[in-house]
Amino acid sequence: QVQLEQSGAEVEKPGASVRVSCKASGYRLIDYDINWVRQASGQRPEWMGWMSPNSGSTGYVYKFQDRVTMTWDSSKSTAYMELKRLTSEDTAVYFCAVGIEGSTYSFDHWGQGTLVTVSS
Amino acid sequence: EVVMTQSPAALSVSPGETCTLSCRASDSVSDQVAWYQQKPGQAPRLLVYGASTRATGIPARFSASGSGTDFRLTISGLRSEDCAVYFCQQYKSWPSSFGGGTRVEVK
């Protein structure tokens, strides 16, 4: 059974950084990219990019490219997404997601989400 | 970036009826479209990928079609548990992008 277990809610000040974790289990982890999607309250989901646990390769959406880092710790079967220089516009629920059935980019498994609040 | 536009923004339907949700892409995305259902406080749930293929475990009353720029999700025999927001997503063009959602209320 595929499970993606995310870390708990975070409150950060503007200008700070946040790191969200996503522990994966229940499938052959290295075979599938881990994606990060965020969603502000009442808004559409926004895809941030992907990370390959197999190779460590990453692909970041341009608007996040200079602020985001996605990594994998194979010893812990855990993916991390770090976002730097936070502003109030980064307040959102952050999800990790995997596409196993179908396409790599149609996500059939999701973490429960991590609320990141940026407030002074 | 391909912009996905969904319509209507919201609709209210009686139990047992059928509703059709629309999604239009600003450029052709072939059949690289997925549909999701999202309930409050939950992650999106994949319903359809490849424009028309139901994901595992999704009831047959959810059907989808389309290619190019116009896509549809039809929900037949609506049930109260279908109350949710439905999003389309294209993954043909970088970056993948989502529509603004359609909120479905079952009266």
Burial of A59 (0-12, 13-18, 19+ CB in 10 A): middle
Asked whether residue A104 carries a pLDDT value surpassing 90, the answer given is no
Residue A62's SS3 state is: helix
Asked whether residue A29 carries a pLDDT value surpassing 90, the answer given is no
pLDDT reported for residue B58: 97
Angstrom distances, CA of residue B49 to CA of A61, B78, B80, B86, B92: 22, 21, 24, 14, 12
Tokens of A57: 């390769």
Tokens of B61: 């009353």
Q: Provide the chain A residues 67-96 that lie in CB contact (below 8 A) with chain B.
A: 95
Comparing CB atoms, the residue among B46, B55, B99 nearest residue A44 is B99
pLDDT reported for residue A102: 83
Average of per-residue pLDDT across B55-67? 97
Count other C-beta atoms under 10 Å from residue B105's C-beta: 13
Average of per-residue pLDDT across B58-67? 98
Q: For residue range A52-99, what is the model confidence (pLDDT) as tens digits?
A: 999 999 999 999 999 999 999 999 999 999 999 999 999 999 999 999
pLDDT reported for residue A74: 92
Average of per-residue pLDDT across B53-74? 97
Average of per-residue pLDDT across B63-78? 98
Nearest-CA residue of chain B relative to A44? B100
Residues of chain B with Cβ-Cβ distance to A97 below 8 Å are 43
Residue B80's SS3 state is: helix
